[in-house]
Amino acid sequence: DSPSSYELAKRTGEAVTQAYARVGAVSKEFAEKRLGPLPMIWRSCQGVAARIVNSQTAGIFFAMVVLTNSVYLGVHLSWSSQNPEQTSNSVFLTVHIAYSVLFTLEAVLHFVAVGPSAYICGSSWAWNWLDLFVVTSSWIELAVDIVSPDHETLGANSNLRIMRLLRLGRLVRVVRIVRVVKLFRALRTLVYSLLGTLKSLFWSFLLLILIIYIFGILFTDVVLNHLWEEGRTAESENVQQYFGTLYASIITLFRSISNGITWEKAANSLEPISTFWVQVFHFYVAFCSFALLN
């Protein structure tokens, strides 16, 4: 009968499931006896680390660590500029140790939570390697400050290489602020909107470069022809300063529309050549200011 067949199939399925469960339990018990308690300890630690890393509290805490570390780097840099003979003191050294420990703790938690293979080769491998570099450079900088507070006992070449590494490490620590963006929705939206405009900005900037280059060739050619026909005089030194070479012309044209120089001086320097070229320069400034940059 149909009902009895169904009941028989159901009991058979339950028996198979129980058999698989017993086999799995025996296999797990055998593996634990063979490998010892280490896998269980690792899985337990991995679960705890994953809960910590994925929690919002830990995310906000380590984001504040990154932000305050950036502030600390600015304060330390300002203090170093005012005290060039000293590179650190006990207060900065203590704060540095605290941040190094926190960065190391964050890296270890991520490493344990995702596992070695996923940490090194996973989807977030770039950030993970960046964290490792930050941790390593922080401890190297700390060791240098402890061994040689004024960096006098190190050789000249080794000192230069170490200082370059430390500067790179500080820069990377500041760059890590980018990771904080994902925690703030409004800031994340603003950043995504900015990234969305980069394509249009690129083509606008390319058009601006093209226009500056064309006018640069035009003004340079006119000025060189004028100098060739009239000769170099005291009166022509001014126009030569602004438009004597293609590089000088491009720099002058760029600074004229970006408040780098008073463009009136550049325009007046063309007066000895012709009033027409002064008006051409006026047209360039008006076109870039009102049409292109608006």
Token readout for 156 is: 């000249």
pLDDT at 280: 94
Sorted by where each begins, the domain ranges of the chain are 2-36, 52-194, 198-292
Share of the chain above pLDDT 90, in %: 21
Residue with tokens 């003191």: 89
Residue 17 backbone class (left: φ over 0; alpha: ψ -120 to 50; beta: rest)? alpha
Give the amino acid at 183. Answer: L
Token readout for 24 is: 């799995």
Nearest to 111 by CA among 46, 41, 177, 179: 46
For 72, residues 6+ apart whose C-beta sits below 8 A from its C-beta are 95, 99
Mean pLDDT of 9-25: 71
Residue 266 has pLDDT above 80, yes or no: yes
Residue 136 has pLDDT above 80, yes or no: yes
Note whether 48 and 54 are within 8 A (CB): no
pLDDT band at 164 (very low <50, low <70, confident <90, very high): low
Q: Is the dihedral of CA 59, 63, 69, 75 positive or negative?
A: negative
pTM of the model: 0.57
Lowest mean pLDDT across 4-13, 34-43, 73-82, 92-101: 34-43
Q: What is the dihedral of CA 100, 104, 106, 107, to 10 degrees?
A: 140
The alpha carbons of the chain give a radius of gyration, in whole angstroms, of 33
Mean pLDDT of 260-285: 92
State the Cα–Cα distance between residues 34 and 132, nearest whole angstrom: 34
Fold of 52-194: Four Helix Bundle (Hemerythrin (Met), subunit A) (1.20.120)
Token readout for 91 is: 């207060």
Give the amino acid at 290. Answer: F
pLDDT at 3: 53
pLDDT band at 35 (very low <50, low <70, confident <90, very high): very low
Residue 162 has pLDDT above 70, yes or no: no
pLDDT at 138: 85
